[in-house]
Amino acid sequence: MCGIIGFIGKIKANEIVLDGLKHLEYRGYDSCGVSMITLSDIIVKKDVGKIDEVHARLNFLEPASNIIISHTRWATHGGITTYNAHPHLDCKKEITVVHNGIIENYKEIKKYLIEKGHKFKSETDTEVVPHLIEEEINKGKKFEEACASIIKKIRGSSALVIGKKGVEKIIGIKIGSPLVVGVSEFGNFIASDIPAFLKYTKNVIFVKDYEMVIASKDKVRVYEVLKNGRIKKVKKKVYTIDWNVEKAEKGSFQHFMIKEILEQVDAIKLASMQDREKLESFAENIKNYKNLFFLGAGSSYHASLVGKYLFSKIAKTTVVPILASEFIHYKDLINDESLIIAISQSGETYDVLEAVKFAKKVGAKILSIVNVNGSSLTWESDDYLLMNVGPEIGVAATKTYTAEIVILSLISYALSKRLEEGKKRLEYLQNIIYNLTAENRRKEIEGIARFLKDKKSIFVIGRGILYPTAMEGALKIKEISYIHAEAFAGGELKHGTLSLIEKGVPAIVLVDEETKDSILSNAHEIKTREGVIIGVSPFYNEIFDYFIKVPECGYENAVSHVIPLQLLSYYIAVSKGLDPDKPRNLAKSITVK
């Protein structure tokens, strides 16, 4: 959830770290801070607010330092206060820590440390870490040994970057939360995500759980921390990633979200560029297992619901989608005859990883669809397909959602031995999305957004493959415009929801050739009660008060119909003066329970 970046180098770190921190702000923006580490001091600057606001007040560019660790926060333990902002220090102000994740046993550790005489200034779980390291050093351990020793003492999902006054090293620890290393000629990075240093290097080391990174200005060493607390040096490969730097920059766009919506033509093309042999291997794996499950959270779960329709219609294959946070209630269904396809943009979603780890223990096969190579999910999977769409910075999933559907579609066609047909359909879809995102179409949708911006509730209805599309559209409206939006299968309106329809209540109705008669009948039920109908449809109908035309795309309607909903949610947020890239209370990657 939080963003962390540390840099140690041969050059001044301040501007580099500030830039990296801004590229991580999508992970949290309640508060932020930096620790400048020198041989004689640690200078901490932190406060509540977004990075630019805090920097304007405190000036992160001074004093100059070659070693800086920093943090942008999404609050978990403790309120949004200056004291609770990271970095945190030990009693002697010699050790500084930034942290992403949750330390589940922090209360018992804190009690132990208080009994040892340690004084705490915050309500956070994180603050136990510098004090715990201090306590280990007090016992005679060196800095590196002390950091290694705490790994077996803390429980939960964590990523840590640690520095010490007078020591020209920074240390990174990964226990469940994301952590990557960037390697360059002028210094080394430890961060929670690649965009933090993509501007400076494309050379990356992926860190596994229970590994400790020790970075100096000219060297990176990685150790596995063993069960007995000892460390074992690990030889790590340095990967050169092919992400385009511009993908992580806003450029001339007002927000990342609109940039990423407009990138979906390329996203379809890039996600379609899958190795044929690997796709067919996925298909063969599916055929070999008795029970097939999709696993996802948020938008990825909605993609899995679309996938259920695709597998049913195209491949005549039964699949059960499971919401990752609810997986524990289905665990009795999972065994060595089960195959799990886990879907995750980040590859770091806590609920998804916990479910996958359980499934592996009982012998299930794990395949995954993920956007970030080297993420935790790729290590936990038997095999995986990459979305290939580059970094997605906006908190609301757009291009990765489309990429997930594209890959699920390709797997469906591979299962039915019609892969070339599937690829041709996706090539056609690229042209459709190009036209749907054209400037004149965006202007039309922007006008409808102005009508909707002051509404208290919006309903979205669809049938068949457009029902999960309605769910995704409603999620987009909720998360960035803060309007109550709810999705329903059209046929469910008369089972209770019609009681909420009154004069002026807007309903977005998703129409396609397959479901047109039944869904338009549902639209009439709303219209009769004086609701306002916004039709997203291949054809006009007199019942529509507003009309957004989308071409009929068959199975690909799940993508063509979601594009106007993404644009609508974006323009509603902008017309309300909201920042769609940083919705309140939300963060991009959910790495905690």
- Predicted confidence (pLDDT) per residue in 166-201, tens digit: 999 999 999 988 899 999 999 999 999 999 999 999
Helix (H, G, I), strand (E, B) or coil at 61: coil
Q: Over 90: is that where the pLDDT of 337 sits? A: yes
d(CA 126, CA 160): 9
Q: Please answer whether residues 321 and 342 qualify as being in contact, where contact means their C-beta atoms are separated by less than 8 angstroms.
A: no
Half-sphere exposure (Cβ direction) of 35: Cα atoms closer than 13 Å: 30
d(CA 446, CA 477): 14
User: Backbone dihedral region of 395: left (phi > 0), alpha (psi from -120 to 50 degrees) or beta?
Assistant: alpha
Q: Which domains does the chain have, with CATH numbers?
A: 3-241 (3.60.20.10), 259-437 (3.40.50.10490), 438-583 (3.40.50.10490)
Helix (H, G, I), strand (E, B) or coil at 482: coil
What tens digit of pLDDT does each residue of 309-324 get? Answer: 999 999 999 999 999 9
Secondary structure letter of residue 26 according to DSSP? G
Residue 531 φ then ψ, to 5°: -75, 160
Look over the chain and give the mean of its residue pLDDT values, rounded to a whole number: 93
Half-sphere exposure (Cβ direction) of 315: Cα atoms closer than 13 Å: 25
Q: Please answer whether residues 341 and 368 qualify as being in contact, where contact means their C-beta atoms are separated by less than 8 angstroms.
A: yes
Catalytic residue set: 2, 588
What tens digit of pLDDT does each residue of 252-273 get? Answer: 899 999 999 999 999 999 999 9
Q: Over 80: is that where the pLDDT of 420 sits? A: yes
- Go through 427-462 and write b for each residue having 16 or more CB atoms within 10 A of its CB, e for each that does not: eebeebbeebbeeebbeebbebbeebbebeebbbbb
- Name the residue among 415, 422, 406 with its Cα closest to residue 318: 415
Q: What is the mean pLDDT of residues 271-300?
A: 93
d(CA 23, CA 180): 14
What tens digit of pLDDT does each residue of 111-163 get? Answer: 999 999 999 999 999 999 999 999 999 999 999 999 999 998 999 889 999 99
Question: How much is the pLDDT for 592?
Answer: 59
C-alpha triplet 313, 319, 325: angle, nearest 5°: 130
d(CA 110, CA 119): 10
Task: Give the contacts of 275 (CB within 8 A, at least 6 positions apart).
Answer: none
Strands of 375-465, DSSP E: 383-386, 457-462
- Name the residue among 483, 487, 478 with its Cα closest to residue 586: 478
H or E stretch covering 163: strand 156-164
Considering the chain, what percentage of its residues have pLDDT values greater than 90? Answer: 83
Residue 76 pLDDT class (50, 70, 90 cuts): confident
Residue 15 φ then ψ, to 5°: -65, -35
Q: Over 70: is that where the pLDDT of 23 sits? A: yes
What tens digit of pLDDT does each residue of 91-120 get? Answer: 999 999 999 999 999 999 999 999 999 999
Q: Please answer whether residues 470 and 464 qualify as being in contact, where contact means their C-beta atoms are separated by less than 8 angstroms.
A: no
d(CA 146, CA 124): 21
Helix (H, G, I), strand (E, B) or coil at 565: helix
Residue 500 pLDDT class (50, 70, 90 cuts): confident
Q: For residue 87, is the peptide bond before it cis, meaning its omega torsion is within 30 degrees of 0?
A: yes
Question: How much is the pLDDT for 493?
Answer: 80
Q: Over 80: is that where the pLDDT of 498 sits? A: no
Q: What is the mean pLDDT of residues 430-438?
A: 95
Q: What is the mean pLDDT of residues 70-91?
A: 93
d(CA 68, CA 50): 19
Q: Over 70: is that where the pLDDT of 593 sits? A: no
Task: Give the contacts of 278 (CB within 8 A, at least 6 positions apart).
Answer: 383, 385
* Alpha helices (runs of H) in 61-212, residue ranges in sequence order: 106-115, 128-138, 143-150
C-alpha triplet 299, 300, 306: angle, nearest 5°: 95
